[in-house]
Amino acid sequence: MSWKSLVLISGLSWLAPTLSAQTQEPLAAKDLAIALPMAFRDVPRDSLFPRTWYQSVSQGFSQTSVGSALDYESPYTDWQLISLRIAPCAPLGQTPRAADQNCWPEIRLVWQPVQRKIRLHERYMENAGDDRAVHALYPVEPDRFLNAAEAARVQASIQTLSSGKTLSAEAFQEFRAARERVLKELLPAVRSLRDPSLSRRAFEGFGIRPEAEDSSLQKAFGQRLSAFLNRWTSPADLRFLTAFSLPEGREPAHLDEWVFLSFRAEKSRLIPEPIRILSPVDGRVLADLGPSMRGSQSRDDDSLYDLLNGSNDAEELAANVMLRINDIDRLTPAVRDREKLLVPNTSCVSCHKMNDLRFDFHNFSYLEDRDITISPRVIRDVELDLTWLRKQGF
pLDDT of 253 higher than 60 = yes
The pLDDT score that the predictor gives to residue 338 is: 97
Return the higher-pLDDT residue of 369 and 1. Answer: 369
* 344 Cβ neighbours under 8 A, 6+ residues apart: 94, 276, 277, 278
Q: Give the E-state strand segments of the chain in sequence order.
A: 33-35, 79-91, 103-120, 123-129, 132-139, 240-245, 258-266, 269-272, 276-278, 285-288, 292-295
Reference 368, options 127, 34, 124, 74; nearest CA is 127
Q: What is the pLDDT of residues 119-155, one digit of tens each?
A: 999 999 999 999 999 999 999 999 988 999 999 999 9
Rounded to a whole number of angstroms, the distance between the first and last alpha carbons of the chain is 36
C-alpha to C-alpha distance for 222 and 369, rounded to whole angstroms: 22
- For residue 241, report the phi and psi dihedrals to the nearest 5 degrees: -145, 135
pLDDT of 266 higher than 90 = yes
Give the CA distances from residue 43 to residues 36, 268, 322, 350, in Å, rounded to whole numbers and listed in that order: 10, 19, 36, 31
Return the higher-pLDDT residue of 344 and 5. Answer: 344
Number of DSSP helices (H) and strands (E) in the chain, helices first:
13, 11
Region 337-356: mean pLDDT is 97
C-alpha to C-alpha distance for 219 and 41, rounded to whole angstroms: 10
Band of pLDDT at residue 25, cut at 50, 70 and 90: confident
Q: What is the pLDDT of residues 29-42, one digit of tens each?
A: 999 999 999 999 99
Band of pLDDT at residue 172, cut at 50, 70 and 90: very high
Question: Please, what is the Cα angle at 328 between 240 and 384, to 5 degrees?
Answer: 55
pLDDT of 15 higher than 70 = no
Region 80-93: mean pLDDT is 97
The pLDDT score that the predictor gives to residue 248 is: 96
pLDDT of 280 higher than 70 = yes
The pLDDT score that the predictor gives to residue 10 is: 41
* 185 Cβ neighbours under 8 A, 6+ residues apart: 144, 145
Question: Please, what is the Cα angle at 327 between 323 and 330, to 5 degrees?
Answer: 150
Region 285-311: mean pLDDT is 97
Angular region, 267: left φ>0, alpha ψ -120 to 50, beta rest: left
Q: What is the DSSP string of 164-223?
A: T----HHHHHHHHHHHHHHHHHHHHHHHTTS-TTS-GGGGSSSSB-GGGG-TTTHHHHHH
Band of pLDDT at residue 22, cut at 50, 70 and 90: very low
C-alpha to C-alpha distance for 63 and 101, rounded to whole angstroms: 39
* 26 Cβ neighbours under 8 A, 6+ residues apart: 200, 390
pLDDT of 282 higher than 60 = yes
Give the CA distances from residue 30 to residues 8, 203, 316, 388, in Å, rounded to whole numbers and listed in that order: 23, 5, 35, 16
* 275 Cβ neighbours under 8 A, 6+ residues apart: 260, 262, 288, 289, 290, 291, 292, 293, 348
C-alpha to C-alpha distance for 59 and 70, rounded to whole angstroms: 9
- Mean pLDDT (the chain, rounded): 93
Enumerate the domain spans of the chain. 3-274+371-392
* 366 Cβ neighbours under 8 A, 6+ residues apart: 38, 82, 112, 114, 128, 129, 372, 373
The pLDDT score that the predictor gives to residue 11 is: 42
Region 196-203: mean pLDDT is 96
- For residue 380, report the phi and psi dihedrals to the nearest 5 degrees: -65, -40
The pLDDT score that the predictor gives to residue 13 is: 40
Region 86-98: mean pLDDT is 96
The pLDDT score that the predictor gives to residue 144 is: 87
C-alpha to C-alpha distance for 149 and 118, rounded to whole angstroms: 54
Reference 376, options 351, 359, 341; nearest CA is 351
